[in-house]
Structure 1
Amino acid sequence: MAGRLDGTRIAAATKGQGGSRRPALPAGRRVLFLKRPPPLPGLLLVCRCFRFLVRLVRCRRFALPLPAARSGPAAVLVLGTVALVVAVAAPAAAQEDVPLFRVNENTTVSDVGFRFSSTQTFSADELAAQIATEGPTFLDKVYRALPLLSTAPHPFAPLELQRDVVRLRQFYQQNGFLHPEISYAGTVLDTSANVIDVVFSIEEGPPLIIQDVTFLGPDSTSYAGRQFTGEIRESWNDFRDSRSFRLGERYTQVNRTRIESGVLEGLKNRGFAFARTGSTVDIDSVANTADLRYFIDAGPRARIDSIQVVGNESVSRSVVLRELPFQEGDWFSAEELAAGQRELFGLQLFRVALAQVPEGQPRDSTVTVRYQVREARLRYLTAEGGYSRALGLTGQGTWTHRNFLGGARELSLSFVANTGYGARVGTDRVAPERLFRATASVRQPYLFTTKLSAVASVFAEIESNPQLDPSDRFLDTNAGEIGLSTTAIYEIFPYRTASLSYELARSLQFRLNTVEAAASPDSTPAAPASASVRERDAFNKSILTASATLGRADDYVSPSRGVLVRPFVQAGLNVPLQSGTEYLKAGGRLTGYQPLTDRISVAGRLRGGRVWPYGRSRRVLEAPLGAGVSADAFSRYENRFDPVYYYAGGASDVRGWSERLAGPKTARRIIFERGTPSADTSYVYEAVGGRAKVSLSAEARMPFPGLGENWGTAAFLDAGQVWYGERPLTAEQARAAAPDQFALSNFRYGAGLGLRYRTPVGFLRLDLAYKLNPDFEDLRDPKAVYQYDRCRAAGSGECSMPEASFWRRLRLHLSIGQSF
């Protein structure tokens, strides 16, 4: 017997459960066969006893003498009581194979599981995504175990349970299992708590194997490749061999559709704008084999004779046409048509940009394409604010003109304010970071080609940089800068670019040079015996930077497979002005991603670099003590190079340490508003940094059982070293100085576990890290270390070493985005 449904031919009747043969399905009809689960043993006995009594009373031809009519109800009652006692003797709190009439509207689902009789092809998560019945998640169970917390119940719907059986059966049939046996016979009902534990019992049966795959032409008899000649035919053969099923593999409806769509896409990318495809599958349900037939009507190869632009108002047609990777007269390509759509969206000028091939065109050697656009608002204003523990209250505002002076040019005026108000200064990081920056920038999206764009900016800023010496200026600001910058970006491939940027700026650094007279380590900052002198260091910055992003990955935003390389080279130049920071800096980052299973992957990162000062910068920074370079000159250049040097530590580097502090550091005392009644003192660690750095990270990324696809966990190990620091000036700086050479014994190691949650804006990441080999300062309070260093520097013989704290080995990192 044979039937046909949606291009599928079934060559034999399907065998039912228990070896019985089900009737063949009529064309276009589907019959639902449900296996009724057996009732409970006790309940079965009750039902059979009452059924026997009813038949006994109603039967007129029973051979044995019946009791009198008045004794009939008594007999029924006695036998019913006996049957009920037997039923009650069976456990009632947790009964397996409960019929659905024992549940009510208050029954809730306690769990949903799957039981496999033999093989298991799909994971529990894949199967759970196919059904409507839901149980409590792992997080729901945790909430219920905690006091004063509760979650919404998951009501049980018997009708949905039966529909889920149908859904699972259809899912298996679409994925190559023609005779799956699905039931809920293992379901358990707890009548005392009125909860049900749903268990689907699954017997997959033999898979459907691909026996033959054929590509035919529009007449359904000739070979499809005969429609092509020359290079097109060779290209078709390569494409066919790379996309077709492999004989002997399991047949799935998804792959069949994917191959058909791939064939159509491949033809349209080679100029066949009017190509048509179809497919059928002949299934032998006895032999469990499938023969695939693809029907291909390529039609004529067409060139683009007209490009229509509809919906543009202030944006000229020429701007739209220049963003397209093709022009009139080129061969049609659906891939280039979509690429043009992406380019138009990248201009940020349009809310809608749709690429179309208008219907109703004749199937000939020319084709008309159309871009339907809808412009966004040309001028808009954005504002945002927030709070950070390190930065305090923050705010940012931007005014943007999307089509400044035409040509899709974008003008932006922005202001950033990191006020420092409400910031919390910890014992293992520096003082509040304040920044006020104003920027005006112009972006040109098209420079000779759509792959090259440029941005030019002018900026001015003042900041309170905790790495520099404190000052008594407004809000403790100790640095300022004004200048201009330009950046050219070339898109090699999507998400892989090369850029060249240049910055020319005038920088100012302020400090309050205070010489204290006989101040003890615990002297009061409000009124010390001191003489304060304001000092200012003004210098030029001329910096050229070249960088690139190379490699290949399956997803460039959140990759799970691939390798990416990000090299860079930076130089502080003496052109066109004498630069106050003369150096060459080079480095890079190598990241790799490899899946181990469908949901478990590993990632690794290697990062490093080196700084080489030259000219006067090198002579000052490397001159020995007392060799003609004053301590003041050395201090100025050291401050200038603070943003140039390398550091280790932080949520995206060597976890377990605060930002920059996984390496050499020194304890500092910072006094704000010195000499006033409101003077404030903070003790923090300041990173020393170094001219060279190497860091490594390895991370295993795993799902969080029971919490769904958006939740994940991670286990990680980080390591890093910074070396080639500057020559020490004091005893405490000598102890905190960076090592002079690379050595594995000088690495800092951190390990831990993390929790991940995928949000619409990226991963929310929480990591708990443990310092495996902390240094002297890592386990001690900076105030105690500062006093200890001052005591040793004073030559006192009674300096007690600060006590170490175990809890300083732990560090909790909360951030957005993957670690790498």
Structure 2
Amino acid sequence: MPGAAVALDFRFETPGADKALADVLRGASVVNATRQTTAPDAQDLFAAARADYGRLLGALYAQGYYSGVIHILIDGREAAGIAPLDAPDQIGSMIVQVTPGPRFAFSRAAIGPLAANTGLPGAFAVGQPARSGAIVDAAAAGVSGWRQVGHAKAMVAAQQITADHRAAQLSADVRLAPGPRVRFGQLQMSGYNRMNPRRLAKIAGFPNGEVFDSDALDRVYLRLNRTGIFSSVALTEAERLGPGNTLDVALSVAEAPLRRFGFGAELSSLDGLNLSGYWLHRNLLGGGERLRLDGAIEGIGGQTDEADYKLGARLDRPATLSPDTSGFVTAEIARLHQEDYTSKRASVGVGFSHWFSETLSGEIALAATTSEVEDRVGGVVTRTTRFRQISLPTALIWDSRDKPLDATQGFYIDAGATPFLGFDTTGTGAQVTADARAYWRPAAFGRVVLAGRVQIGSVLGSDLLETPREYLFYSGGGGTVRGQPYQSLGVNVLRGALSQQIGGRSFLGLSGEVRADLTDKIGAVAFYDAGHIGIDAAPGGEGEWHSGAGLGLRYDTGIGPIRLDVAAPVAGNTGEGVQVYIGIGQAF
């Protein structure tokens, strides 16, 4: 048996290569990776050396180098010349030498025929570096262009690649075969168990009889996947066309466990402990119906002497009006205890949600709400008000984030409007809100992410004291201004000779973070938050500002980061001292 042996002398040489190319070659080398393992033996290193010729050649082609020379020497002998049965028992030295030669440029970059409006990668053009990946990407774009206009069996028919080593140029000519224009045939479903097949087909929204479009097939996959009913979804096109140039598609699904539960926690040194949890049934009646129960207890051990409670239920039915339109029913009861008032609320609603695209969704509902609010000044109840209203909450969400729980690029916009009709002493008006977030990772600072957030809210039409409390705005705490106590900023109203704080008719919140990865698992954050509560409907008008700032740590769990933030007030008179926040996921 070969004895364990670490190369006594290892060199990786790339004469004529710049640092970027040298790093690519080292990263592609199997030998370089194997020698860094805990205890490589001679057999491992020999096998890695024989595999490295192809790996390194592919890496050169990918960067546009077609005249490269590769030598891998084991104790002075070329590894390719050593027969497998003569593999050395011990290795004293290894030298990997890659001479890339000149970088080739495209002298010809042709592909065709192309479907109308096909976009080719800019790297596939005369004069550009002749990377092999550019040819592959151009061929893929050409095939995709034909598939998007109905030619499901489009393929690369031929290619002619010629390298001129004297001129360091590459001629590439790729010929495509579009094939016939195809229509969708039948959807052949399998793998479902409890799911009703008629409902499965309706949710999928398979466009039977329509002209083939690869994007339409992607939409079928997304509809099924976003229901949360299935642990896996696979769509496979038939290898051969059916009668009349129709294409059948096989759908294979695996149903996820029917029930699921989860919980969350966030701890603030001043606001106390917030606990939340949910229970989910994925397929309640066999038609994809999803029942979710949510509960939360907030402010345990916080600055108020009692905690807040909330219990809600929501039943969603996918593909109610169309494959992209779901119906839902909601119900919620809640008790909110603040320093100056206590609110008990109950609401029911019915509505629809619709997916316009993969990133844009909307929702509209009709809801009825009743609440009872006890105002207190100095611990004494000064007024009890009953609010009753019918509302029409609507929302649009545009989400282009790369990772919702820990975004590094993209944006998120949640805009909503809730017109409400009040009865008795309840006013009539509308609440309008917007929450916009953006994320950017500068190329010059690959381990840094800049994150920003703007929150806007306004109550139109309804007078302050006639507006249901859930539509008014407060500032302070982990969701608005860290470093300031939870909902510590509102507006003051007179109750006889005494002043009481309630929510305002407008809100403007600004937040900025600089997030830096210290290691693969640990990150640091510096942040600044500011909030304004106004008496009138115009955000940023008459009212007061406060702000806070601090530092934080993040630990990446693979699902989402665990968050620790330490913040203190910067401006305003609503708080003092340091506050600590612990939670799961980024602050925004």
In the superposition, the TM-score normalised over structure 2's length comes to 0.75
Residue 89 of structure 2 aligns with which residue? none
| Alpha-carbon distance in structure 2 between the residues aligned to 1:650 and 1:603 | 18
Measured against aligned partners, the alpha-carbon deviations of 1:223-248 in whole angstroms (never above 9, x if no partner) come to x32xxxxxxx6xx2531545771222
Residue 174 of structure 1 aligns with which residue? 62
Long gaps (5+) in structure 2: 1-5, 74-93, 494-499
Match of 1:460 among 327, 330, 333: 333
Q: How does 1:692-771 map to 2 (within 5 A)?
A: 692-704=506-518, 707-708=519-520, 711-724=522-535, 741=542, 747-769=545-567, 771=569
| Alpha-carbon distance in structure 2 between the residues aligned to 1:703 and 1:538 | 50
Q: For residue 296 of structure 1, report the CA deviation from its aligned partner.
A: 1.6
Are residues 302 and 513 of structure 1, via their aligned partners in 2, closer, same or farther at CA, if it must alter by over 3 Å?
closer
| Alpha-carbon distance in structure 1 between the residues aligned to 2:15 and 2:351 | 60
Q: For residue 297 of structure 1, report the CA deviation from its aligned partner.
A: 1.9
Residue 121 of structure 1 aligns with which residue? 20
Q: Which has the larger radius of gyration?
A: 1
Q: How does 1:361-376 map to 2 (within 5 A)?
A: 361=241, 365-376=245-256
Larger strand share, 1 or 2? 2
Q: For residue 397 of structure 1, report the CA deviation from its aligned partner.
A: 5.5
Match of 2:142 among 263, 268, 287: 263
| Alpha-carbon distance in structure 2 between the residues aligned to 1:725 and 1:199 | 75
SS at match of 2:392: strand
Q: Is the 8 A contact 1:274 1:363 kept in 2?
A: no
- Residue identity matched to 2:151: F
- Residue identity matched to 1:817: G
Match of 2:443 among 588, 597, 615: 597
Q: Is the 8 A contact 2:266 2:581 kept in 1?
A: no
Are residues 482 and 764 of structure 1, via their aligned partners in 2, closer, same or farther at CA, if it must alter by over 3 Å?
same
Match of 2:309 among 413, 417, 435: 435
Q: How does 1:362-761 map to 2 (within 5 A)?
A: 365-376=245-256, 379-380=258-259, 382=261, 388=267, 392=273, 394=275, 396=277, 398=279, 400=281, 402-404=283-285, 407-412=287-292, 414=293, 416=295, 418=297, 423-425=300-302, 429-431=303-305, 433-435=307-309, 437=311, 439-461=312-334, 463=335, 465-469=337-341, 478-509=342-373, 537-550=385-398, 559-574=407-422, 577-578=423-424, 580=426, 582-597=428-443, 599=446, 600-612=448-460, 614=462, 617-618=463-464, 621=465, 642-661=469-488, 689-704=503-518, 707-708=519-520, 711-724=522-535, 741=542, 747-761=545-559
Residue 128 of structure 2 aligns with which residue? 249
Are residues 464 and 590 of structure 1, via their aligned partners in 2, closer, same or farther at CA, if it must alter by over 3 Å?
closer
Residue 291 of structure 1 aligns with which residue? 171
SS at match of 1:485: strand
Q: Is the 8 A contact 2:224 2:233 kept in 1?
A: yes
SS at match of 1:764: strand
Q: Is the 8 A contact 2:482 2:529 kept in 1?
A: yes
| Alpha-carbon distance in structure 2 between the residues aligned to 1:717 and 1:554 | 24
Q: Is the 8 A contact 2:147 2:212 kept in 1?
A: yes
Q: For residue 176 of structure 1, report the CA deviation from its aligned partner.
A: 2.5
| Alpha-carbon distance in structure 2 between the residues aligned to 1:258 and 1:498 | 35
- Residue identity matched to 2:532: Q
Long gaps (5+) in structure 1: 1-98, 104-111, 136-152, 185-197, 216-223, 226-232, 470-477, 516-531, 622-636, 667-685, 727-737, 780-807
SS at match of 2:288: coil
1:318 aligns with 2:198: yes
Residue 774 of structure 1 aligns with which residue? 571
Residue 671 of structure 1 aligns with which residue? none
| Alpha-carbon distance in structure 2 between the residues aligned to 1:758 and 1:123 | 31
- Residue identity matched to 2:421: L
Q: For residue 180 of structure 1, report the CA deviation from its aligned partner.
A: 7.9
- Residue identity matched to 2:471: V
Are residues 554 and 251 of structure 1, via their aligned partners in 2, closer, same or farther at CA, if it must alter by over 3 Å?
farther
Q: How does 1:206-221 map to 2 (within 5 A)?
A: 206-215=102-111
| Alpha-carbon distance in structure 1 between the residues aligned to 2:28 and 2:555 | 19
- Residue identity matched to 2:475: A
Are residues 287 and 714 of structure 1, via their aligned partners in 2, closer, same or farther at CA, if it must alter by over 3 Å?
farther
Identity of aligned residues (%): 17
Larger helix share, 1 or 2? 1
| Alpha-carbon distance in structure 2 between the residues aligned to 1:703 and 1:383 | 28
Q: Is the 8 A contact 1:276 1:298 kept in 2?
A: yes
| Alpha-carbon distance in structure 2 between the residues aligned to 1:811 and 1:126 | 49
- Residue identity matched to 1:171: A
Are residues 131 and 693 of structure 1, via their aligned partners in 2, closer, same or farther at CA, if it must alter by over 3 Å?
farther
SS at match of 1:300: coil
- Residue identity matched to 2:542: Q
Residue 338 of structure 1 aligns with which residue? 218
- Residue identity matched to 1:174: A
| Alpha-carbon distance in structure 2 between the residues aligned to 1:539 and 1:547 | 23
SS at match of 1:274: coil
- Residue identity matched to 1:466: Q
| Alpha-carbon distance in structure 2 between the residues aligned to 1:510 and 1:749 | 29
SS at match of 2:471: coil
Are residues 612 and 132 of structure 1, via their aligned partners in 2, closer, same or farther at CA, if it must alter by over 3 Å?
farther
| Alpha-carbon distance in structure 2 between the residues aligned to 1:199 and 1:273 | 49
Deviates more, 1:641-650 or 1:392-401: 392-401
Number of residues of Structure 1 aligned to a counterpart in Structure 2: 544
Deviates more, 1:259-268 or 1:198-207: 198-207
Q: For residue 200 of structure 1, report the CA deviation from its aligned partner.
A: 10
In the superposition, the TM-score normalised over structure 1's length comes to 0.56
Measured against aligned partners, the alpha-carbon deviations of 1:545-594 in whole angstroms (never above 9, x if no partner) come to 222124756666655454544322223312xx446354432232333344
Are residues 766 and 261 of structure 1, via their aligned partners in 2, closer, same or farther at CA, if it must alter by over 3 Å?
farther
Deviates more, 1:647-656 or 1:265-274: 647-656
Q: Is the 8 A contact 1:507 1:541 kept in 2?
A: no
